[in-house]
Structure formats: C-alpha cells, structure tokens
Chains A and B, each alone.
Chain A
C-alpha cells in the first residue's frame, strides 16, 4: 500500500479531522464504549497484571525463538498437505498469492479482515490483475463500498455514523435509506452470502500461529472468517512472522487477554483453529491451503532495537485509550496502523516518510497502561523521536536551544531577554497568548497558542513582593493558602 504521508499532509489531515463534527461524535462514542469495556473487564479479571506479565513473556519468548518456531510451524503445515511460502516483502507476498489465484483460474475472492493484507496492499494487487476481491467483515465491507481505508484495527469503520452508512447502502445497494441496523446488517448479510457461495478462493489472516501443532488461530465475532475458510475450495492465510507462538498453553493465555482488551469480551463468538487443507475424507472445507509467512520489514525493525513492538497482539486498546487518537481519529495517521502502535509501526515499516507520527503523542502513558502485553509505547516513541531529530542536526530548533543555553546561563543576558521578550510579544500579538506568530514561531502556533511573555518577570515580581512584605508586615504572601 502506498503511504499517504508527508509533513504537510499529516497536518492537513489532522486539521480536517478536528473540524469533522461527525468524526468527533464517533470518536467520543469509541472512548466511552471500547475503552470503558476493556477497563471494566480488566477490573473484573483476577490478577490481570500477572496475566499481562505472562503474556508479555510469552510473546517475547516467541520472538527470541522466531526462526526455530517458524520452522516447526512450517513442518507441521507441510505434513498436513499445506503449502508454505516465505515472503520477504509485500511484493513477494502479493506476487505469490496472485500466482496461486492464476494457477486455479480464480475470478472471485472473498476475504476476512486482515490488517496484514492491508499492510501489503493485497486487494489492490489482486484487483489490478482483474480479480474480484470482496471484504466480508461488515465494517470492511462498508469501507470497501465507500472506497475508504480502515481507521481502527478492530473496529475498522468506527469513524462512520449510521447516517453515513444508510446513505451509502442506499446509493450503492439501491435499498431504501434506513437507520434500522437490523435491516442494514441483513442487506449486507444476504449480499455477502451469495458471494461466499460463489467464491473460488478465500483469504484470511490469523491472530496467532501455534508452532507446536501447526495451528493457526483466528478470532472473529461475525462468522465471516468461518465462511472464508470453509466454503471456497482454496484457502490462503497471510501471517506476519511475529505471530508465531510456542504452544497451545501460550495460545490460551493470549486468548484470555486479546478479546478482553479489544472488545471487552471474555472470548469472541468464534475462535477458528485450522491447520492445512481439508483431509481427504472430510465432507467439506478447502482442498488446498497456502500459508504465507511475511517479513516485510519486521526483521529490520527487530535489528534496529524496536523488536518490542512485534509483540503487539493487535487488540486496539492503545488507540482506544489514546487522547490523540480520540481527537484526530485513525485516518489522520495516514496508514493501516493508527494510534500509538501505528505511530511506532508506520515509520518503522514504511521507513523515512512518516517521521512526524512519533511526535503526534503527548507521551501520557495511557497506551502503555492499556496494552495487554505491556509494550512500552512511550519509550519506543521517544526513541523514534530522538532518531528523527538526530537525522536533522543543525536545524533551527538546535540553533534556538543553543541561544537559549547562552542566555539562560548568564543572569545579565537573562534579564535583558525577559524585558525584550515582553516588548516583542506586545509588538507581535498584544493578547494574552499568541495565536499566530511570524515564522519561525509560526510552526508552533499552527497547532497551539504561544503564551505571551508576562509584563513583569517572576524574579522582578519576587523581589518586589519581598520588599512590599517587609514594608507592610503582612504575614501571608499570596499563593499559599490561609485555609486549614
């Protein structure tokens, strides 16, 4: 997928998002519901932090033994008659899947929600080759109709209101405009059902891959994933290499945390576990199965010291808890992974271009506290920031800090600067805070106010207080409370 990202783009998107009233309501709804649901479920869960520490350990263990676990997984899948392809990058993965489709004269493909497939732009690649690709998760289906990218990794269409969807279904599906969710859902259901029955190939992702048994685990609520890996004669699963875990016990542990953190459920409606094609005497199921293991920059970020982010289990809790995500929504982040985890992953997987994202955070730590596998997202963000600023030494900012250091370490300079600062701010804005400053300060005031310099400096004020105090002999200087 091509990244829609440059500095000015990012600011423009943020501004557009902030001005979008509908989006604001949707995001409020998200914070009120999803984040609260998680918090409540966690509060009910005994030893939640012990669980989280163990889940973190399990994921890190998987990461440390990635090559050996992947080989075990591969051997199991091959033994069951499946095919395994190791894809170095998006291009290789897309080419392979397209090849498989061509070999079987596939025309129609159904897909269940897979962020990994979004990451590699699989739909585009298949559609460019003339194939029909249908997203079957309700949220993804809505977005496909609308021609929009997902804005949340768990609730992809969370930015849309029911009025948007009613209009969309009216325009694209020709149904009367209705705000009845049951009717909207039924319309999608019957259309998608027809396609499930006709599709020649199904594509899914997986939440985890259990090396021990060669089992892929996929959690869903709607059941579309079950259709996708049950009905079409050909099933392709695309899985990031970091999803592999050691054992079934590890799977159960992570399944205790993932639904609880994602949607506040103890378990999703469905957990599909599959390993290879249908067996010869099975009455149904895909006769052919391909597993695509994807690197696509994961080993690079592991080598660069960002491996911790690979333990992410894609629950979305960090974005639900994030004040910045709740203000700007997922689209502003410009790629498939939004929110705090996206601000870490996007610049690492997409290199150079998204260097602004790690700065789109207040570092308040809400994401770290919400993360079921205890990823230290603020630390990773800080590290990305320092790398980004390192990359552009001798900037104006550095010059600024250099000057500041000069001024601040010399009392005489400091006093004069304070006076001049006040005069300058009077000249510039007159008001209490600067809303619009000339360049280079404008880079600050584009997004926030610049406080004007006080008329009287604090040190001056302090000296004056002390003198007044002595003259008037009042015992209680302002600022300390006389109560209690």
Chain B
C-alpha cells in the first residue's frame, strides 16, 4: 500500500530528523488594520492594483450603475450569477428590458458537454462577492448553486456587487469573525468546492518582468459597493 509505505517512511524519518527549535507564537502576528473607513481603504487598495470601484447608496442605485456600465460598454450579452444569490433584485428583468441577454452558465462535467467556446462571446460578466477585504482590495467569491466559477473568469470586464457591510479590514479579522460565529463551514465546509480571492485584474510579468494586465483572467475589475 503506497499510503502505509509513505507514512512509515515519514514516521521513521521524523524519529531521526533534527529540526531547528522554533516556538509557535500565540497569537500570530497580524498586519495593522487600515485606518478610517473600510470602504475607502478597500477602494484605495483596489485602485492601487489597477481595479476600479464606485460607491452607491442602495440596491436601486446599484442596479442603475450596472445598467449604465453595460450601456457604456455597448454590451449585448452578459454572463453572470443567478439573481437569487446576488444582493440586487430585479437585475435580470432590467437587462431584458434593455435587450441585453443575461446568461447564468452551466457547464456539465461529464460527457456531452459539447463545444463551450460560446464562453468567449461575453464581453462582460457580473457577480457579487460574499466578502471584501480592505487592506488588500480583495474580493472573496465562492462556487456553489447559482454561482458558476467561469462567471468571474472568462470575460474581459468583471463587474462585482459588494455590500459595504461585508467589507472586513483584513483577512485575519474576517477569519476571526468566522471562527467566533461558527461560520467557517460557510466558506470552507462541504458545500464549497472552490473559492477564489480576487485582488485586482489578471496580471503577468513573465516577459522581461514588465507588467501586463489581463493575460488570462479579466483585464478590468469594477466593484460597485452598496452602502445599505
């Protein structure tokens, strides 16, 4: 059995191993939390990474903001998450009224998936984020029903709806909250196959260490922060 072999060898090795002494310190060091409003800090951090954001007062204003962007972009079709999992109601209807196709993609894993190159036809995608992190300008998106992974990945422009109340100062503070409130399973439990922490646009420096945006993932990330 390969498992027993590996574990036996490891156990034997550990019995002989001489490792440097180092004590775990409790609590672990945490980087300072941003000063002032988390929202402003989030916007600043995101901007420094090449992302953009705007603040809106409520869900109605958020809906209008989405529509305005789609019109400006002349987007005819949008890829996105199911309206039911997003904080802004009535989006699908509003888009339909403007003649914009809204598709919540499903890609079967087994045979019979067929050609999925239609994924390339969407210039814009729309999702929400469960959590925002101010210190790093990070968005946390979970996979799950109504929340396809590809919706935040394949389009050149990714629009994200983020309720201001879901912005945490640091990743550590967020995790501390999950621990204290017993909500770790909501993000790391059986229901979530994948989560992705997004900090700004896709980037590379693989050619002569020069920065280029949008190499595989979205070139533009725009966050609409909803105050209430």
Q: Which of A324-374 contact B (CB under 8 A)?
A: none
Q: List CB contacts (< 8 Å) of B163-212 with chain A.
A: 171-172, 175, 184, 188-210, 212
Give, as a whole number of angstroms, the nearest-CB distance from B121 to chain A.
12
Task: Specify which chain A residues have a CB less than 8 angstroms from the CB of B195 in the assembled complex.
Answer: 272-274
Binary interface profile of B, 125-158, with partner A (CB < 8 Å = 1, else 0)? Answer: 0000000000110100001111111100100000
B109, A252: Cβ atoms closer than 8 Å: no
Docked complex Cα distance between A47 and B28 (Å)? 12
Contact of B216 with A189 in the complex, beta carbons under 8 Å: yes
Q: How many angstroms from the CA of A219 to the CA of B202 in the assembled complex?
A: 12
Q: Which of A4-12, A61-69, A384-392, A435-443 contacts the other chain?
A: A61-69
Q: Please give, as numbers and ranges, the residues of chain B lying within 8 Å of A53 by CB-CB distance.
A: 22, 25
Assess whether B110 is interfacial by the CB under 8 Å rule: yes
Q: Does B120 contact A (CB under 8 A)?
A: yes
B215 on interface, CB distance cutoff 8 Å: yes
Q: Which residues of A contact B37 (CB under 8 A)?
A: none
Contact mask A193-227 → B, CB, 8 Å, 1/0?
11001000000000000000101000001111011
Q: Which residues of B contact A377 (CB under 8 A)?
A: none
In the complex, what residues of B have CB within 8 A of residue A197's CB? 115-117, 119-120
Q: B107: CB under 8 A from chain A?
A: yes
Is A238 an interface position by the 8 A CB rule? no
> What residues of B have a CB within 8 angstroms of the CB of A457 in the complex?
none
- Which residues 79-97 of B sit at the A interface, judged by CB distance below 8 A? none
B106 engages A63 (CB within 8 Å): no
B residues less than 8 Å from A185 (CB atoms): 204, 207, 212, 214-215
Any A CB within 8 A of the CB of B11: yes
Please indicate the chain A residues that have their CB under 8 angstroms from the CB of B120 in the complex.
193, 197
Residues A231 and B188 in contact, CB atoms below 8 Å apart: no
List residues of chain B with CB within 8 A of the CB of A184.
Answer: 207
CA distance A282 to B196 in the complex (A): 15
Q: Beta-carbon contacts of A85-116 to B below 8 Å, as 1s and 0s?
A: 11110001000000000000000000000000
Bitwise interface map of A from 284 to 299 toward B, beta carbon under 8 Å scored 1, else 0? 1111100001010001
> Is B9 on the interface with A (CB-CB < 8 A)?
yes
A155 sits at the interface (CB 8 A): yes
> Do the beta carbons of A61 and B18 come within 8 Å of each other?
no
Docked CA distance A74–B190 (Å):
14
Q: A316 interface residue, CB < 8 Å from B? A: no
B138 A267 Cβ-Cβ under 8 A: yes
Please determine whether B175 and A252 come into contact, CB atoms closer than 8 angstroms.
yes
- Per the bound structure, the CA–CA distance linking A45 and B201 in Å amounts to 23
Are B208 and A269 neighbours in the complex by a CB distance under 8 Å? no
Q: Is the CB of B208 within 8 A of A227?
A: no
Chain A residues near B198 (CB, 8 Å)? 269-270
**Given known contacts A60-B22, A138-B207, A188-B215, A80 and B190 CB-to-CB distance under 8 angstroms:** yes
A157 to B210, CA, bound (A): 12
Q: Chain B's nearest CB lies how many Å from the CB of A279?
A: 5
- Give the CA-CA distance A185 to B199 in the complex, in Å: 20
In the assembled complex, A151 has its CB within 8 A of some CB on chain B: no
Chain B residues whose CB sits within 8 angstroms of the CB of A29 once the complex forms: 208-209
Contact-residue bracket for chain A: 35 or more
> Given A162-B208, A221-B204, A278-B193, is A227 in contact with B29 using a C-beta cutoff of 8 Å?
no
Chain B residue with the shortest CB-CB distance to A105: B111
Residue of A nearest to B191 (CB): A279
Interface pick from A124-132, A301-309, A465-473: A301-309
Chain A CB within 8 A of B100 CB: no
Q: CB < 8 Å: which of A277, A281, A300 contacts B145?
A: A281
Chain A residues with CB under 8 Å of B150's CB are 230-231, 284
**Are A253 and B217 in contact, with the CB atoms below 8 A?**
no
Chain B residues lying within 8 Å of A276, measured Cβ to Cβ, are 193
Give Cα A351–Cα B85 distance, bound, in whole angstroms.
54
A215 adjacent to B188 (CB under 8 Å): yes
Q: Give the CA-CA distance A194 to B16 in the complex, in Å.
A: 50
Among A26, A231, A267, max chain B CB count under 10 A is at A267
Given A67-B14, A226-B153, A303-B16, does the pair A283, B209 have CB atoms closer than 8 Å? no
Please judge, given known A-B contacts A182-B212, A230-B150, A302-B10, whether A222 and B217 are in contact too, CB under 8 Å: yes
Q: Are B206 and A376 in contact (CB under 8 A)?
A: no
B209-A33 in contact (CB<8A): yes
What is the CB-to-nearest-CB distance from B191 to chain A, in angstroms, rounded to a whole number? 7
**In the complex, are the beta carbons of B199 and A268 less than 8 A apart?**
yes
Min CB–CB distance A61 → chain B (angstroms): 6
A138 touches B204 (CB 8 A): yes
Q: Which of B5, B7, B23 has the most CB of A within 10 A?
A: B7
Which residues of the other chain, B, contact A282 by a CB distance below 8 angstroms? 143-145, 148, 193
Min distance, Cβ A71 to any Cβ of chain B, angstroms: 8
The reply to whether A303 and B12 form a contact with Cβ atoms under 8 Å apart is yes
Could you tell me if B18 and A307 are in contact, using CB atoms closer than 8 angstroms? yes
Contact call A270/B217, Cβ cutoff below 8 A: yes
Q: Does A312 contact B (CB under 8 A)?
A: no
Q: How far is the CA of A160 from the CA of B209 in the complex (A)?
A: 10
Cα distance A333–B194 when bound, in Å? Answer: 37
Select B109's contact among A63, A160, A229, A233, beta carbons within 8 Å: A233
Other than the given A71-B7, A189-B214, A223-B217, 7 more pairs (CB < 8 A) read A162-B210, A197-B117, A241-B6, A249-B172, A266-B136, A303-B12, A303-B16
* 8 A-B pairs with C-beta separation under 8 A: A60-B20, A63-B19, A64-B14, A88-B9, A139-B204, A161-B208, A229-B194, A275-B194
Give chain B's interface residues, CB within 8 Å of chain A: 2-3, 5-7, 9-14, 16-20, 22-25, 28-29, 31-32, 49, 104-107, 109-110, 113, 115-117, 119-120, 135-136, 138, 143-150, 153, 171-172, 175, 184, 188-210, 212, 214-218
The 3 closest A-B pairs by CB, nearest first: A223-B217, A287-B109, A139-B206
